[in-house]
Amino acid sequence: MVYISNAYGTFPSRGTIVVDRAGVIGAGTLNFIEYFEFQNQSTNDVYIEVEIQDAGGNWTFDDGTTLKQLGAVTGGTTQGFTLNFKRPEPTTDVEDEVFNLIVRVYQDATYTTLQYEYTWPVDVYIVDFKNNANWTVHQVWNFDDGTSQGWSGGTISSAFSIQAGGYSYRNNTTNGTEVFTQSGYQLPTASKIFLVGYFAMDMDSTSDYIKDLKIKFGGQVVTQFLGTLVKRDSGEPQYQGWFQFGANLSDFSGSVGDLQIQFYITSCYAYFDELMIVYRP
């Protein structure tokens, strides 16, 4: 997530997209969700436009365009926007690829009077981490020994697993916010540290969903995917396969803290598996 305010004209920090390439081979097109908030501290409405600028020509919005006008943010309010990106599946590992998301703030609904412009660089890593010599796997939690492997807040299940005959970790309760915790985890000392993992949904009823997935370290939100991530609509299957997520933990290099996965779920279950901490010196 990135937070932007038009009170000070400050530029946001860099974003990161991280993917375990081994888990998406054969996908053809990779789809991503990114969220940002805009705080309008003026009394007047402003209008938000976003543009993808990618010298490599790989990145677009999910409809193939590179420019979107998102509408108004009322004076004195904060509004969140969810953006859906896509990129062709690479045939080799991608490290340190960058595209820019340009956020423009206009004074009028015709998008002609520019007030501010922000450049948000997004760093991209699509890597087969277990087989790339630049990266070291620090920890894997696959639950296939039938234990929680140090996690709390959920329960072990054999109902779904990435590995045949294996296990995963799911929520104990439903219709609320769930928090899985790996207490007192020691991160490696490195320039780049990522968490990657997978979740699958078992949705008994239409209208079941998972939303607001947050990754935290030491009580701080590292990344969050706000809004509905997976929802079962009428006519869709109860089980819709595995979804991958990632988070950049590099700012906490060498630190010890609670690693947490938080999400909101309806009357259904989310299964997490193949959680992995990787780093590059």
Burial profile 139-177: b = 16 or more Cβ within 10 angstroms, e = fewer: bebbbbeeebbebebbeebeebbbeeebbbbbbeeeeee
From 79, 104, 127, the end of a domain falls on: 127
Taking residues 155-171, what's their average pLDDT? Answer: 94
Looking at the structure, do residues 121 and 162 belong to the same domain, yes or no? no
Looking at the structure, do residues 95 and 147 belong to the same domain, yes or no? no
pLDDT tier, 14 (very low <50, low <70, confident <90, very high otherwise)? confident
Of residues 96, 97, 90, 82, the one with CA closest to residue 37: 82
- Res 111 pLDDT > 90: yes
From 93, 127, 161, the end of a domain falls on: 127
Measured from the Cβ of residue 7, the count of other Cβ atoms closer than 10 Å reads 9
Looking at the structure, do residues 115 and 186 belong to the same domain, yes or no? no
Cβ atoms of 45 and 51 closer than 8 Å: no
From 127, 155, 189, the end of a domain falls on: 127
Q: What is the spatial distance between Cα 212 and Cα 230, in angstroms, rounded to a whole number? A: 10
Looking at the structure, do residues 88 and 140 belong to the same domain, yes or no? no
Amino acid at 170: R
What CATH number did the domain enclosing 147 receive? 2.60.120.260
Looking at the structure, do residues 143 and 85 belong to the same domain, yes or no? no
38 burial level (CB within 10 Å; 0-12, 13-18, 19+): buried
Taking residues 190-213, what's their average pLDDT? Answer: 88
Looking at the structure, do residues 112 and 146 belong to the same domain, yes or no? no
pLDDT tier, 71 (very low <50, low <70, confident <90, very high otherwise)? very high
Structural Rg of the chain based on CA atoms: 20
Q: Any residues with CB less than 8 A from the CB of 94 and at least 6 apart, and which? A: 21, 124, 125, 126, 127
Q: What is the spatial distance between Cα 80 and Cα 1, in angstroms, rounded to a whole number? A: 10
- Res 119 pLDDT > 60: yes
pTM of the model: 0.87
Note down the domain range covering 75: 2-127
Angle at 124 between CA 139 and CA 40, to 5 degrees: 110
Strand order of the β-sheet with 78-88 is 2-5, 29-39, 78-88, 60-61
Q: What total of structural domains would you count in the chain?
A: 2
Measured from the Cβ of residue 93, the count of other Cβ atoms closer than 10 Å reads 16
Looking at the structure, do residues 68 and 143 belong to the same domain, yes or no? no
Taking residues 174-198, what's their average pLDDT? Answer: 95
Cβ atoms of 9 and 104 closer than 8 Å: no
Q: What is the spatial distance between Cα 199 and Cα 213, in angstroms, rounded to a whole number? A: 11
Residue with tokens 């607001």: 212
Q: What is the spatial distance between Cα 77 and Cα 157, in angstroms, rounded to a whole number? A: 43
Taking residues 244-253, what's their average pLDDT? Answer: 94
Which pLDDT value is given to residue 113? 97
Looking at the structure, do residues 102 and 84 belong to the same domain, yes or no? yes
Looking at the structure, do residues 78 and 178 belong to the same domain, yes or no? no
Q: What is the spatial distance between Cα 141 and Cα 110, in angstroms, rounded to a whole number? A: 51
* Residue 169 main-chain phi, psi, to 5 deg: -125, 125
Taking residues 258-275, what's their average pLDDT? Answer: 93
What CATH number did the domain enclosing 66 receive? 2.60.40.10
pLDDT tier, 145 (very low <50, low <70, confident <90, very high otherwise)? very high
Q: What is the spatial distance between Cα 197 and Cα 276, in angstroms, rounded to a whole number? A: 6
Looking at the structure, do residues 123 and 142 belong to the same domain, yes or no? no
Which pLDDT value is given to residue 246? 92
Taking residues 8-15, what's their average pLDDT? Answer: 56
Looking at the structure, do residues 118 and 154 belong to the same domain, yes or no? no
Percent of the chain with pLDDT over 90: 67
Q: What is the spatial distance between Cα 45 and Cα 233, in angstroms, rounded to a whole number? A: 35
Looking at the structure, do residues 271 and 185 belong to the same domain, yes or no? yes
pLDDT in tens, 40-53: 988 999 999 999 99
- Res 269 pLDDT > 50: yes
pLDDT tier, 223 (very low <50, low <70, confident <90, very high otherwise)? confident
